[in-house]
């Protein structure tokens, strides 16, 4: 089992805009959370080791730009990003 350590500071962390016109390339990962881990979390307990391990990894999507929502390509990477970090409202 190879667990991925997640620093507490990264849980729910605010994303930082790399600057106007700069893409924010990201890769999204999705992990399956087992029934036992959910039960422990529902009880306010530590879900235990292996929450983000290779066996639970379901898919990786990307890379793509978080701001302009375009999938990575050499063409897009050479163009300025036209997206933003979100609705300022
Ligand atoms: Zn972009």
Distances in whole angstroms, Cα of residue 43 to Cα of each of 2, 12, 40, 50, 52: 25, 20, 5, 18, 19
Give the model's pLDDT for residue 52: 82
Q: What is the chain's length?
A: 89
- What's the gap in Å between 88 CA and the centre of ligand 1? 17
- Round to whole Å and give the CA distance between 59 and 79: 28
- What's the gap in Å between 36 CA and the centre of ligand 1? 39
> What does the domain layout of the chain look like in residue ranges?
18-78
pLDDT tens, 8-35? 788 789 999 999 999 999 999 999 998 9
Backbone φ and ψ for 15, nearest 5 degrees, come out as: -80, 145
- What's the gap in Å between 67 CA and the centre of ligand 1? 5
pLDDT tens, 28-87? 999 999 898 889 889 988 887 777 888 899 999 999 999 999 999 999 999 999 999 986
Closest CA to 79 of 66, 63, 68: 68
- What's the gap in Å between 81 CA and the centre of ligand 1? 4
């Amino acid at each position: 089992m190879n667990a991925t350590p997640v620093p507490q500071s990264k849980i729910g962390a605010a994303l930082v805009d790399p600057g106007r016109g700069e893409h924010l390339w990201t890769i999204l990962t999705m992990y399956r959370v087992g029934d036992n881990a959910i039960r422990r979390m529902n009880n306010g307990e530590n879900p235990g080791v292996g929450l983000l391990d290779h066996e639970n990894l379901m898919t990786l999507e990307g890379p793509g730009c978080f701001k302009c929502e375009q999938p990575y390509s050499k063409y897009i990477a050479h163009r300025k990003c036209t997206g933003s970090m979100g609705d300022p409202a």
